[in-house]
């Protein structure tokens, strides 16, 4: 494993200088990436100095260095978690065989599809979030948004590296296409549904980073188990960055709740005081949890079984979780529930390998529950009898066995007329969205914050909340 070459045109720890052909190909892609960033990256803030962290090495302590930098000068690069000696495939039919350091010929198409699908989400989220800087509630939040954005850009680099290095000409073509598709574009949209939903307000942004980035965590973690070692090591490093994105979402929603609670305790009218009512927060949670669950694919899936059998995609912590003892998974079943015509539910059993999507989704749900429990402690602390709840996996689904069926957030069948009549109680209405939008006014003064969110308990990297996280090149209010 090479050490980190930070001064190279493309910072990397993959020994790029020793592979001239690859280096040239990536250096040819780089200006296109920068053009894309200029067109589709955060609108209006490219000349400002942002307090960003950049990876400078991949070891535990040294991968994050903070400094003020203009976003276009961010050191996008290629970092893999260092090689372990004698890596083996940890699951599936080839368990115990040496891990692949080249693409196994039999699985080329499948691996490319996995990498392209993951890679496409990275620029997509940057595109979805590109207008949010114009309504940031504080400099701290503005900086966090841009940190997330530059790292999603780096995740694209990570996937493009794999495509260029391991998939030849069609890999390069796929890498080009990553910069051509556009989130929400009718003719050429991003691949997955949740990544075509616009994110125009900060409640949505925090819900996205809480719930949709968390889907990313579970996908990346299952790919970090892959028998295709370069993919595994790439995803492992991406996970270190992903943790911050989920922190932004989890604490962001928590701070909104905190602010609303403070207003309620002061007997203020939450709306008049410019806060976000709890029922609206719950509706946004319902929306983003459900679109994120759609990303996990079919509950009973032959593709998932194939990926597992081949050693391409494992379970969450496949190798590391002591509770997972059978890594072949040819025997055993996983319980699944299915809707009947009349809305009643049947319990069925799915062969373990075919249930891998559902197993991953259930692990994801448990992680969401943990986060929501943290929010609910805020209510308890305030002596309030209210709980944010995780909607049932039957509610508001577009994919899988529950798609299009009229269940309520508790998972009760309500019938189509019942669903239509009560939909506005469960999902954001146009009025809710208009209200949230009306609050989205920027606050760019050091140490100040918008009316609808509480400041964080601490700042970043040992700084206070009143640190100058963004140094503006000129007046940000008149852009």
Q: Judged by CB, which is closer to Fe ion: 146, or 395?
A: 146
Q: How far is the CB of 94 from Fe ion (least distance, A)?
A: 28
Return the range that interacts with Fe ion (CB under 5 A); candidates 30-38, 132-140, 234-242, 375-383: 234-242
Query: What's the CA gap between 177 and 169, in Å, rounded?
Result: 13
Q: Judged by CB, which is closer to Fe ion: 246, or 440?
A: 246
Q: Which of residues 79-98 bind Fe ion (CB under 5 A)?
A: none
Nearest to 77 by CA among 195, 238, 220: 238
Mask 130-169, x = binds Fe ion (CB under 5 A)?
----------------------x--x--------------
346: left (phi over 0), alpha (psi -120 to 50) or beta: beta
Q: How far is the CB of 125 from Fe ion (least distance, A)?
A: 7
CA 167-220-376 angle, 5° bins: 160
The count of residues interacting with Fe ion (CB under 5 A) is 6
Query: What's the CA gap between 344 and 74, in Å, rounded?
Result: 54
Q: Does 213 bind Fe ion (CB under 5 A)?
A: yes
Q: Judged by CB, which is closer to Fe ion: 113, or 479?
A: 113
Query: What's the CA gap between 55 and 69, in Å, rounded?
Result: 13
Q: Judged by CB, which is closer to Fe ion: 123, or 227?
A: 123
Q: Judged by CB, which is closer to Fe ion: 155, or 313?
A: 155
- Helix, strand, coil shares of the chain, percent, nearest 5, are 50, 10, 40
Long-range CB contact pairs, 401-409, < 8 A, 24+: 401/298, 401/299, 401/300, 401/338, 401/339, 402/339, 405/339, 405/343, 406/343, 407/339, 407/343, 409/286
Q: Which of residues 167-206 bind Fe ion (CB under 5 A)?
A: none
Q: How far is the CB of 37 from Fe ion (least distance, A)?
A: 15
Query: What's the CA gap between 390 and 288, in Å, rounded?
Result: 10
What distance lies between CA 261 and its chain's CA centroid?
Answer: 28
Q: How far is the CB of 152 from Fe ion (least distance, A)?
A: 5
Q: How far is the CB of 130 from Fe ion (least distance, A)?
A: 15
Pick from 53, 134, 217, 245 the residue near Fe ion by CB under 5 A: 245
Q: Judged by CB, which is closer to Fe ion: 150, or 378?
A: 150
Burial class (CB in 10 A: 0-12, 13-18, 19+), 384: middle
Pairing of strands 333-339, 65-70: unpaired
Q: How far is the CB of 78 from Fe ion (least distance, A)?
A: 14
H-type alpha helices, 41-138: 108-128
Query: What's the CA gap between 99 and 92, in Å, rounded?
Result: 12
**CA separation (Å) from 361 to 4, 159, 242, 404?**
35, 23, 18, 19
Strand arrangement, sheet containing 470-471: 65-70, 49-54, 470-471
Q: How far is the CB of 117 from Fe ion (least distance, A)?
A: 13
Q: Judged by CB, which is closer to Fe ion: 132, or 450?
A: 132
Q: Does 112 bind Fe ion (CB under 5 A)?
A: no
Q: How far is the CB of 122 from Fe ion (least distance, A)?
A: 5
Q: Judged by CB, which is closer to Fe ion: 238, or 356?
A: 238
Q: Which of residues 411-430 bind Fe ion (CB under 5 A)?
A: none
Query: What's the CA gap between 325 and 235, in Å, rounded?
Result: 23
Q: Which of residues 337-356 bind Fe ion (CB under 5 A)?
A: none
Return the range that interacts with Fe ion (CB under 5 A); candidates 122-130, 341-349, 400-408, 425-433: 122-130
Q: How far is the CB of 148 from Fe ion (least distance, A)?
A: 6
Q: Does 120 bind Fe ion (CB under 5 A)?
A: no
Q: Judged by CB, which is closer to Fe ion: 209, or 357?
A: 209
Residues 135 and 205: beta-carbon distance below 8 Å: no
Q: Does 244 bind Fe ion (CB under 5 A)?
A: no
Q: Judged by CB, which is closer to Fe ion: 120, or 213?
A: 213
**CA separation (Å) from 343 to 332, 394, 407?**
28, 11, 8
Q: How far is the CB of 253 from Fe ion (least distance, A)?
A: 16
The secondary structure of residue 147, as a DSSP letter, is: H
Return the range that interacts with Fe ion (CB under 5 A); candidates 87-95, 174-182, 239-247, 320-328: 239-247
3-state secondary structure of 66: strand
Q: How far is the CB of 271 from Fe ion (least distance, A)?
A: 32
Q: Judged by CB, which is closer to Fe ion: 152, or 393?
A: 152
Q: How far is the CB of 207 from Fe ion (least distance, A)?
A: 13
Token digits of residue 394: 């039957």
Return the range that interacts with Fe ion (CB under 5 A); candidates 183-191, 241-249, 305-313, 345-353: 241-249
Furthest C-alpha separation in the chain: 67
Return the range that interacts with Fe ion (CB under 5 A); candidates 212-220, 269-277, 394-402, 414-422: 212-220
Residues lying near Fe ion in the complex (CB under 5 A) are found at 122, 152, 155, 213, 242, 245
């Amino acid at each position: 494993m090479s050490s980190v070459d930070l001064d190279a045109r493309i910072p990397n720890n993959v020994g790029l200088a020793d592979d001239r052909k690859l280096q040239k190909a990536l250096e040819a892609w780089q200006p296109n990436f920068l053009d894309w960033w200029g067109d589709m990256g955060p609108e209006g803030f490219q000349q400002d100095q942002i307090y960003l962290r950049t990876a400078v090495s991949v070891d535990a302590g040294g991968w994050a260095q903070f400094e003020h930098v203009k976003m276009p000068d961010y050191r996008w690069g290629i970092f893999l978690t260092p090689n372990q000696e004698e890596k083996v495939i940890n699951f599936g039919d080839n368990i115990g065989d040496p891990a692949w350091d080249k693409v196994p010929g039999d699985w080329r198409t499948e691996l490319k599809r996995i990498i392209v699908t993951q890679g496409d989400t990275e620029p997509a989220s940057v595109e979805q979030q590109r207008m949010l800087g114009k309504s940031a509630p504080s400099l701290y939040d503005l900086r966090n948004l841009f940190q997330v954005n530059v790292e999603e850009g780096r995740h694209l680099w990570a996937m493009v590296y794999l495509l260029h290095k391991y998939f030849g000409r069609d890999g390069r073509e796929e890498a080009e296409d990553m910069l051509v598709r556009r989130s929400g574009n009718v003719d050429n949209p991003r691949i997955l549904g949740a990544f075509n939903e616009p994110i125009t307000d900060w409640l949505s942004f925090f819900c996205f980073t809480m719930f949709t980035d968390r889907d990313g965590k579970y996908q990346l973690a299952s790919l970090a188990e892959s028998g295709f070692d370069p993919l595994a090591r790439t995803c492992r490093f991406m996970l270190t960055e992903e943790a911050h994105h989920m922190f932004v979402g989890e604490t962001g929603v928590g701070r909104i709740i905190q602010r609303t609670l403070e207003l309620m305790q002061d007997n203020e009218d939450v709306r008049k005081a410019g806060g976000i009512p709890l029922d609206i927060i719950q509706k946004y949670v319902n929306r983003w949890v459900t679109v994120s669950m759609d990303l996990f694919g079919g509950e009973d899936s032959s593709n998932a079984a194939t990926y597992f059998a081949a050693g391409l995609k494992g379970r969450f912590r496949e190798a590391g979780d002591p509770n997972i003892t059978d890594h072949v998974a040819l025997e055993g079943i996983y319980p699944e529930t299915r809707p009947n015509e009349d809305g009643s539910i049947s319990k069925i059993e799915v062969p373990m390998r075919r249930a891998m999507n559902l197993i991953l989704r259930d692990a994801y749900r448990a992680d969401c529950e943990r986060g929501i429990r943290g929010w609910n402690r805020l209510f308890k602390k305030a002596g309030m009898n209210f709980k944010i709840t995780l909607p049932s996996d039957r509610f508001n689904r577009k994919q899988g066995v529950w798609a299009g069926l009229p269940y309520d957030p508790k998972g009760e069948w309500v019938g189509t007329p019942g669903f239509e009549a009560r939909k506005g109680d469960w999902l954001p209405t146009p009025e809710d969205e208009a209200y949230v939008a009306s609050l989205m006014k920027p606050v760019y003064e050091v140490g100040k914050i918008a009316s609808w969110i509480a400041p964080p308990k601490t700042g970043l990297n040992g700084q206070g909340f009143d640190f100058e996280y963004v140094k503006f090149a000129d007046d940000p209010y008149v852009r």
